[in-house]
Amino acid sequence: MGIDTLRSYLTGKDSDVFGRRKKNDPADATVDTVDEASEAEQVDDAEGAEAEDGEGAERERVRLEPAPRPDGPWDVSEVSKPGEGRVDLGGLFVPGVDGMELRVEVAGDSIVAATVVLKDSAVQLQGFAAPKREGLWTEVREEIATGITQQGGVIDEVEGPLGWELRAQVPVQLPDGKGGFQVVRFIGVDGPRWFLRGVISGQGAVQPQAAGLLEQIFRDTVVVRGDHPMAPRDPIVLKLPNDAQMVPDGVQQEEQSSSRFSGGMGQLARGPEITEVR
């Protein structure tokens, strides 16, 4: 199964697992006091104060400033020649390597993600706008984990080569109609006013030690946030290179040794439309 089988876990800002908090979020609920004996009131007040302190610590924890990125991914202001050795997709400059296939993911009329396929592994790249001084990855990681576990999936949060990540068994529907699981890795890095998320699938997820090249592609990606106003979590829209040709998903492609993209990469293939599943 490919990256496209992950359903709503790969969608953008409107996804249940990657969206703005709803007004009825349980985290915003207040605890009713117990109006009985004085002792009970005191115990409840103490618990309420402790809960408020915990919520304050949680807010502080998830709203830390972005950590340094000495090894990337990079902001466009940090790279002198972002188009050198990379495919220009507008909002992202994606590194080109030998044998890779590049697919674009579409939501409505917009291209919002790019998927690099290398043999039996893939990494989907998607950029989002972020607050100027607050990182999103910790909070987003918790939302993704909650969404997957609510659907019956399994989550393991580990510190990997790219920092904290989620290694997940995501429930999917198999071609024969039966239910199954797909192993994936959710990775993410906060940058200046942007957040880059990656989803690794295939052998790179099943055997993380085999994902070194995919991880390097993620690290060497350049993000172009732009100066125009964007709400936090809005997807950074991508575009096709001027001379790219769209190839429908499933159509056999002939190898193109004359590709202008570094690494001998061929035509862009359009991936399946991203569908939100609620």
Per-residue pLDDT of the chain (278 residues; tens, 9 = 90+): 444 434 344 444 434 444 444 434 433 433 333 333 344 444 344 444 444 444 444 444 445 677 778 888 999 999 999 999 999 999 999 999 999 999 998 888 889 899 999 999 999 999 999 998 889 999 999 999 999 999 999 999 999 999 999 999 999 988 888 889 999 999 999 999 999 999 999 999 999 998 999 999 999 999 999 999 999 999 999 998 766 655 555 544 443 332 333 333 333 444 433 322 22
For 182, residues 6+ apart whose C-beta sits below 8 A from its C-beta are 1, 5, 6, 169, 170, 172, 201
Buried (b) or exposed (e) across 86-111, using 16+ Cβ within 10 A?
bbbbebbbbbbbeebbbbbbebeeeb
**Cβ atoms of 251 and 102 closer than 8 Å:** no
Amino acid at 1: M
Report residue 102 as tokens. Answer: 């590049």
Domain ranges of the chain: 3-17+66-250+259-273, 34-62
Task: Identify the DSSP state of 48.
Answer: H
CATH architecture of 3-17+66-250+259-273: 3-Layer(aba) Sandwich (3.40)
For 7, residues 6+ apart whose C-beta sits below 8 A from its C-beta are 172, 275, 277
Q: Cα separation of 186 and 168, whole Å?
A: 8
For 258, residues 6+ apart whose C-beta sits below 8 A from its C-beta are none
Q: Cα separation of 130 and 230, whole Å?
A: 8
Helices (H), the chain: 38-62, 137-150, 203-206, 212-219
Report residue 142 as tokens. Answer: 């918790």
Q: For the whole model, what pTM was predicted?
A: 0.70
Per DSSP, the three-state class of 211 is coil
